[in-house]
Amino acid sequence: MSRGYRSRVVEAAEVACITRDGLHVTVEYKDGGGMYFKLGPHLSTMTDAEVLEQHNVLAQAVADAASNFAPTEIPDGYPQAKFHRQNKMWYPQSDVLRCEIWTDEGDAAVYIDDNKLSLEDFCNILRQRRTWGMRVVFLPPSQLADPPQPVLIEPRRRRK
């Protein structure tokens, strides 16, 4: 899928390719992007038109959910991420992570609560939200739990 991933309701003429892989299907759009999803065992008997119909039902449901989305946040003092020993990965407990960036002996690390995560561990958290957007706001640590509203400014023009 392209970096500009956006699922949307599409007409057959907008679809570049429908690829079946077992129980899963990928619908790729001609102008880039697409959607990968599971349809189950009946996928093997479905026509492309039926797959596209299911794609559009799912794309509309995603769009409806996104229009009503409000990020969740764990209150200060509670764990924002949990480590799962079996997977050896950190998992966020909400949509907002308050963290601090530090360098120890030249290596950067990200602290979430009192937990030190390597950049690799932190990137694994980000991978769990692939296809989502992200907004990075740099704040003093004292403002992480109660951030101020950003002030919009005009960008500086470059001198010639």
Q: Looking at the structure, do residues 138 and 91 belong to the same domain, yes or no?
A: yes
Residue (of 4, 139, 7) closest to 61 by Cα position: 7
Q: How do the residues of the chain divide into helix, strand and coil, expressed in percent and rounded to 5?
A: 25, 25, 50
Q: Looking at the structure, do residues 53 and 86 belong to the same domain, yes or no?
A: no
pLDDT tens-digit series, residues 84-127: 999 999 999 999 999 999 997 888 999 999 999 999 999 999 99
Number of domains in the chain: 2
Q: What is the mean pLDDT of residues 45-65?
A: 91
Domain that holds residue 111: 81-143
pLDDT tens-digit series, residues 139-159: 999 999 999 999 999 988 877
Q: Is the dihedral of CA 83, 89, 95, 101 positive or negative?
A: positive
Q: Looking at the structure, do residues 103 and 63 belong to the same domain, yes or no?
A: no
23 in any annotated domain: yes
Q: Is the pLDDT of residue 131 over 80?
A: no
Q: State the chain's mean pLDDT as an integer.
A: 89
Please tell me the pTM assigned to this model: 0.64
16 in any annotated domain: yes
